Structure 1
Amino acid sequence: MLNKSKYTEFIKSEAKRLGFLSCGISKAGFLEEDAHRLEHWLNKQMNGQMSYMENNFDKRLNPTLLVDGAKSVVSLLLNYFPSEMQNTESYKISKYAYGQDYHFVIKEKLKELLFSIQESIGEVTGRAFVDSAPVLDKAWAAKSGLGWIGKNSNLLTQKVGSFYFIAELVIDLDLDYDTATTDHCGSCTACIDSCPTEAIVSPYVVDGSKCISYFTIELKENIPDEMKGKFNDWVFGCDVCQDVCPWNRFSKPHNEPLFNATPELLSMSKKEWREITEEVFNSLFKSSPIKRSKYQRFKNNISFMDK
């Protein structure tokens, strides 16, 4: 028992050293409640063209199917709230995409965390997950006491709001487990009332196929004409439901240099965005999540705003 507590304390202190905002730990197993919610969401086709959400249903709900002998899910939050925002007269991109691609930044930190665990504790097997494998990040983070899932379906915390990435380390090591926190959304409906496309169809339920992020990143064909005039200049992702959340008054700027935006990105005008060449796009976004969008797709998003 002493070792279990000692190991847990070590992992949390290492997570802090690596710059993570917080760390919570849950016992690996089947997420029964979330299974019903996910099944209902998929049956309603709220995933739109995101067919990958239908794949690996069992693995998505049970990390022991992803890591042999998995005993613990270590959930981690990494802040991305910027100290400087884009030019307010510009087309808008989600704050998470201001800097370098978070997948690579966080994966490196998780590799280092796993290496530290193996070096200090011994033979521990595990896998790192950053939003690119069938793991229900928000469900595990909530189960680990890192926050609650709000009415906009984002993980919220009282101390720092919701502008952070969620990642996991699934390992075959028994640890002390945290308990879930309580919901603090209360009677607030700011996110529901402010969603430009009414994607939050009811408290805690987001129709992914109606979300601006879906239309500007995931949708393979042209954005439907009925969405014209509803995007409020968002050309990559959307932060509206987070920007209006009262808990995000407590967001503090991150301290990860790789997430900093270039001055060029922050100052660009609409005219500069409209005239962006493929060469400038590739140079400006070479290490950014925006490169997923591809040049022509990004230009199409901008053109749609001006229709």
Structure 2
Amino acid sequence: MIFNFILLKVEIYIFKHINYELNKDQLTYFIKEKSKEYFFIGCGISRSKFLDEEAPKLEKWLKEGYHGSMKYLENNFDKRLDPGLLVEGAKSVISLLYNYYPQEKQDTESYHIAKYAYGEDYHQVIREKLQKLVQEIQDKVGQFSYRVFTDSAPILERAWAQKSGLGWIGKNSLLLSKQKGSFFFLAEIICDLELIYDEAFPTNHCGSCTRCIDACPTHAIIAERVIDSTRCISYLTIELKDQIGEEFDGKLKDWIFGCDICQDVCPWNRFSTPHNEEKFIPKPELLSYTKNDWNDINQETFKIIFKNSAVKRTKFSGFYRNILFNKKS
């Protein structure tokens, strides 16, 4: 009786073990196919491990002070390099891309807002999709340990996307795809599931092109894949809480929240196609406002136009500071 019970336990263990090994391919396929149902335009998977190649680069970048007032980037150094410190027992990093390239754009004669901020805050929109995707995986395999991210935690998203085969890191430090350009958000699911892993993207396709470097009006791209954030228009109009320095007079080029210059000039973005996310569709005012309209904006109108928007991060005071700086330039 006892022998039969032990034998049954062994048979169940063997069955589960073999079944799991046989189904890693199927589970990986399931995850990638399900990601498409949530309109992710790319999904790659890499083995969770310490990013030893990125460690010295990150350390040098921080020591040079290129992060400016973003002191939070100095925190959790090890966590940025090791997913196992974010999810205990992490085995896989699932990287995903979500398109935000708009169908309609602002008038070129008006002040400019980065395209990623046209609609609702992407953090919430994408996080909800990630949680639903995880729930579908759990329905398939049962409970597992995980965390989801989209520009919301100490994780080197572009490095993981490149290691997952989704593209290469361009000279402007953004992830580039031959088929999709760069107007997309990055997101991750770090989990303790063992899956089939993609090969890292093997080739840099920037070649001798320097359009992004040449086009940056503040010379923020100081070397290939090295950005001095303190000179970047996105940093100056979003992260910087103090007054913008006089050395940037006339160089913001009418950007009042973020900047798309290095992406707009990138040849690979000729392959960008409009997204189909309703929550990213901008309010009519954002597209139609002239410079005079923006100059006259008040706090109440700001709250209405940018309700649930990433633009709220600057608060009205920071947003209006950016308008005034461009106006006087």
Q: Is TM (by shorter chain) over 0.5?
A: yes
The one-letter amino acid paired with 1:207 is D
TM-superposition CA deviations, 1:87-109 (whole Å, max 9, x none): 11110010000000000000000
CA shift for structure 1 position 2: 2.0
TM-superposition CA deviations, 1:285-304 (whole Å, max 9, x none): 01110011100111111000
SS state at 2:96 partner: strand
Q: In structure 1, what is the equivalent of residue 14 of structure 2?
A: none
Kept after mapping to 2: 8 A contact 1:130/1:167: yes
Q: In structure 2, what is the equivalent of residue 105 of structure 1?
A: 125
Instruction: Say which of 76, 82, 91 aligns to 2:96.
Output: 76
CA shift for structure 1 position 36: 1.0
Q: In structure 2, what is the equivalent of residue 239 of structure 1?
A: 260
SS state at 2:274 partner: coil
Kept after mapping to 2: 8 A contact 1:199/1:206: yes
Kept after mapping to 2: 8 A contact 1:24/1:74: yes
Kept after mapping to 1: 8 A contact 2:106/2:112: yes
Instruction: Say which of 115, 120, 138 aligns to 1:95.
Output: 115
TM-score, normalised by the number of residues in structure 1: 0.99
1:257 aligns with 2:257: no
1:10 aligns with 2:27: no
TM-superposition CA deviations, 1:67-114 (whole Å, max 9, x none): 011100000000000010001111001000000000000000000011
Instruction: Say which of 280, 293, 304 aligns to 1:272.
Output: 293
CA–CA distance in structure 2, aligned partners of residues 71 and 9 of structure 1: 17
Q: In structure 1, what is the equivalent of residue 312 of structure 2?
A: 291
Instruction: Say which of 216, 221, 229 aligns to 2:242.
Output: 221
Instruction: Say which of 188, 192, 210 aligns to 1:172.
Output: 192
Extract unaligned runs of 5+ from structure 1. Answer: none
SS state at 2:165 partner: coil
Q: In structure 2, what is the equivalent of residue 194 of structure 1?
A: 215
Tell me how large the CA RMSD over aligned residues is: 0.7
Kept after mapping to 2: 8 A contact 1:131/1:167: yes
The one-letter amino acid paired with 1:297 is G
TM-superposition CA deviations, 1:107-161 (whole Å, max 9, x none): 0000001111111111211000110100111010000000000000000000010
SS state at 2:209 partner: coil
The one-letter amino acid paired with 1:306 is K
The one-letter amino acid paired with 1:3 is N
SS state at 2:53 partner: helix
1:33 aligns with 2:43: no
Q: In structure 2, what is the equivalent of residue 142 of structure 1?
A: 162
TM-superposition CA deviations, 1:163-217 (whole Å, max 9, x none): 0000000010000000112110000000000001000001111111110000000
User: What is the percentage of aligned positions where both structures have the same residue?
Assistant: 58
Instruction: Say which of 23, 43, 49 aligns to 1:23.
Output: 43
CA–CA distance in structure 2, aligned partners of residues 264 and 300 of structure 1: 20
TM-superposition CA deviations, 1:30-61 (whole Å, max 9, x none): 00111111011001100000111110000011
Q: In structure 2, what is the equivalent of residue 43 of structure 1?
A: 63
The one-letter amino acid paired with 2:94 is V
* Moved segments of 4+, more than 4 Å: none
1:152 aligns with 2:186: no
CA–CA distance in structure 2, aligned partners of residues 35 and 257 of structure 1: 38
1:302 aligns with 2:323: yes
- Matched pairs, number: 307
CA–CA distance in structure 2, aligned partners of residues 52 and 155 of structure 1: 22
SS state at 1:13 partner: helix
TM-score, normalised by the number of residues in structure 2: 0.92
CA–CA distance in structure 2, aligned partners of residues 32 and 128 of structure 1: 23
SS state at 1:286 partner: coil
CA–CA distance in structure 2, aligned partners of residues 104 and 125 of structure 1: 21
Kept after mapping to 2: 8 A contact 1:152/1:241: yes
Kept after mapping to 2: 8 A contact 1:117/1:124: no
CA–CA distance in structure 2, aligned partners of residues 34 and 117 of structure 1: 30
CA–CA distance in structure 2, aligned partners of residues 217 and 67 of structure 1: 30
Kept after mapping to 2: 8 A contact 1:111/1:128: yes
